[in-house]
Structure 1
Amino acid sequence: MRIAAKFTAVAGAMVLAALWGSPAQAHPMTAYQGLDKAWISSNHKTIEVQDKECDNHGVYAIVNLTNGTSTSVSDPDGCTGNTGYGSYSVAIASFYVCENAEGCGTTVRVQ
């Protein structure tokens, strides 16, 4: 009886740990500047940026990686519906969206 109770408790704890994850568990996240946006994948290694306003102001995302480097990704064709895309071998630590002549939105901290 005790062995069965211990087994059940251990199995239950393992299931909870697998489902709950940790605070740094991967999940998609989105940043905005007005209607313009950028979002990262659930593994935090890819980003897309999209210009959602047809105002002739270019849109780009600033990406800070966990290895200390920074880069940017821009929407290459304005508000036509396509996106700019970036993929990295290390995780994204934070990112934010900027619009030429309008400034930048709030930084989204990932880790």
Structure 2
Amino acid sequence: MPCYRCGARQTDPDHGPSPWRRGVRSDRQVLVCPDCQHGRDWTADLDHCTSCGATALVCRLGEVECRTCGRVRATERMAEPPAPSDGSGLSEEVAAALSRVLGGDGLAT
């Protein structure tokens, strides 16, 4: 899942926890890349818990749960299919990942 603000694709760190942050925006789970976390208050764009005001929300199976106070509510709209992507660069990223994992040309023998 890319960053909802800039579209950067998530990469796993070599060591330690991921610098990417999760949130909920318009009842959908989103990721925020480290670059978009700098500058203005990036949490202002996220949904807030109606009970405690926190942005530590998780969206799953038609409900949103607050990790701070534990409040659970149903999502306000039915899940819509994701918007189609042109896939630009994705096939190259997949090929590079396969090459790293499998070695060489990325083909298993």
Which of the five TM-score ranges fits, normalised by the shorter chain?
under 0.3
Q: Relative to total residues, which structure has the larger strand share, 1 or 2?
A: 1
Ranked by relative contact order (alpha carbons within 8 Å, sequence separation 6 or more), the top structure is: 1
Q: Report the TM-score, using the length of structure 2 for normalisation.
A: 0.24
Q: Report the TM-score, using the length of structure 1 for normalisation.
A: 0.24
The structure that has the greater radius of gyration is 1
